[in-house]
Amino acid sequence: MENEKLKERLSSIKSLPTLPVVASNVIQLTQNPDSTAPEIADAISQDQSLSSKVLMTANSAYYGFPGKINTINYAIVVLGLNNIKNIVLSTSIMERFSESDDDFLFDRKQFWQHSLLCGIISKKISEHMGIKNFEEMFMCGLLHDFGKVVLDTYFHEEFVQALEMAKTQEIPIKDAEYKIFGFNHSGVGALLLKRWSLPPSMVKSVEFHHKPDEKKSVKRTASIVHVADYLCRRIGIGSGGDDVTPTLNKKAWNLLELNAEIIKKMTIPIIQEFKSATGFLGNEKDSE
């Protein structure tokens, strides 16, 4: 039901947002086991502004490499393909959806801060759990609420209604969205990421970040994103567009084997990393 409505609505959009061609090429290349570093560097170099963003992020304190990275090629072999993929993907998406409409209720800057923080917490939890591919978990966290941007861009009036409803009725935005659209941002985000042929595990983790115990195949990763999302509100940096702290899914919490002590220990490194990662937001120049 929900899904059909969603598909119906999205098909009404004449031009669905696409990933910039260069970014899409790069992502495909990084996923191909045989692509060489120069091939990928060539693809990135097609977009001058992407190239400079990649270099800027590669040299940022977030990665902290003790040396200067002057070429894209070097950035690729030093940071590795997963990091490069993440840098390209996140900078492209954020650049594409960063323009704020001066909307009072949905501040894009606040939104991407929320997303970035959620990405970093997801990564930290994964590291703590010994999950190898923690860089992908960063992307899951970063893109978990991506659907909100899509709704805000393509169904702006209705989305503003949902935001107002969430505010006045003091309900979570996802519930307000559901009341108005018959679906919510998690499904929208997932659908779009799927179209961009991002890894299925990432797509599913985004789709189930509100109900992580409902999909077995991504129980772990969706739980990480869910708990990270919850912790974002507790830390109080950024905003997802609503003020209601969502209820924490107990099963997800238990699955991660966390406790107050561990969270307390993690908080400082998380905030430090957040500060060093603002390059991802493309506004490093602003803060300088």
Q: What is the dihedral of CA 32, 93, 20, 277, to 10 degrees?
A: -70
Of 56 and 235, nearer to another protein (C-beta) is: 56
Residue 247: DSSP 8-state: P
- Position among 43, 81, 173, 192 found at the interface with another protein (CB under 8 A): 81
Q: Going residue by residue from 92 to 131, which x/- string records binding to Fe ion, judged by CB under 5 A?
A: ----------------------------------------
Of 78 and 271, nearer to another protein (C-beta) is: 78
Q: Going residue by residue from 188 to 227, which x/- string records binding to another protein, judged by CB under 8 A?
A: ----------------------------------------
Q: What CA–CA distance (Å, rounded) separates 252 from 10? A: 30
Residue 37 binds what, of another protein, Fe ion, none (CB under 5 to 8 Å, by partner type)? another protein
Which candidate, 256, 288, 276, places its Cα nearest to that of 120? 276
- If one asks whether residue 187 binds Fe ion (CB under 5 A), the answer comes out as no
Region from 18-26, 44-52, 145-153, 159-167 binding Fe ion, contact rule CB under 5 A: 145-153
Q: What CA–CA distance (Å, rounded) separates 262 from 174? A: 29
Size of the site for Fe ion (CB under 5 A): 3
Cα Rg, the chain, nearest whole Å:
18
Half-sphere exposure of 120 (CA within 13 A, CB side): 26
Region from 49-57, 129-137, 151-159, 227-235 binding Fe ion, contact rule CB under 5 A: 227-235
- If one asks whether residue 76 binds another protein (CB under 8 A), the answer comes out as yes
**214, 250 in Cβ contact below 8 A?**
no
Which candidate, 77, 206, 188, places its Cα nearest to that of 139? 206
Q: Give me the least distance between CB of 30 and another protein, in Å please.
A: 7
Region from 30-38, 216-224, 246-254, 275-283 binding another protein, contact rule CB under 8 A: 30-38
| Helices 21-31 + 81-96 axis angle, to 10 | 160
Region from 14-22, 58-66, 146-154, 179-187 binding another protein, contact rule CB under 8 A: 58-66
Which candidate, 191, 243, 3, 92, places its Cα nearest to that of 84? 92
- If one asks whether residue 177 binds Fe ion (CB under 5 A), the answer comes out as no
Region from 135-143, 164-172, 199-207, 232-240 binding Fe ion, contact rule CB under 5 A: 232-240
The per-residue DSSP string of 158-192 comes to: HHHHHHHHHHHHT--HHHHHHHHHSS-HHHHHHHH
Which candidate, 50, 56, 23, places its Cα nearest to that of 276? 56
Segment 45 to 74, residues that bind Fe ion, using CB under 5 A: none
Size of the site for another protein (CB under 8 A): 22
**185, 246 in Cβ contact below 8 A?**
no
Chain residues that interact with another protein, rule: CB under 8 A: 30-38, 64-67, 70-71, 73-74, 76-78, 80-81
Chain residues that interact with Fe ion, rule: CB under 5 A: 145, 229, 240
